[in-house]
Amino acid sequence: MNHDYQVPYLTHRNPYHNPHHLKYRVLKTVDPIVRYGLKEAKFTSYPHALQQVAAITYLMGKGYNPWTARQIVESWEVDEAF
């Protein structure tokens, strides 16, 4: 059995190998969505705002840009509810 393989996320060639870099990128990416959710919670509820934030970030993970993801999620609402 060959044990000379390298796990991709542990190699120095992977830009996310540095945990600090990954943390910075993730937090920088989701920060505007989190702030949006906190503003929304003032007008709806925290559970509803958290659902919105989760749905938006899920769509972002699927490749949608943040603005489009937000528009899609907001289009699902009827009277501030899903």
* pLDDT tens digit sequence for 13-34: 666 677 788 899 999 999 999 9
DSSP-based three-state secondary structure for 78: strand
**DSSP three-state, residue 81:** strand
Q: Are 77 and 60 in contact (CB under 8 A)?
A: no
Dihedral Cα 72, 74, 77, 80, nearest 10 deg: 170
Q: Is 37 helix (H, G, I), strand (E, B) or coil?
A: helix
- If one compares 51 and 13, the residue with the highest pLDDT of the two is 51
Percent of the chain with pLDDT over 70: 80
Q: Sorting pLDDT into bands at 50, 70 and 90, what band is 75?
A: very high
Domain edges within the chain: 32-82
pTM of the shown model: 0.74
Q: Which amino acid is at 46?
A: Y
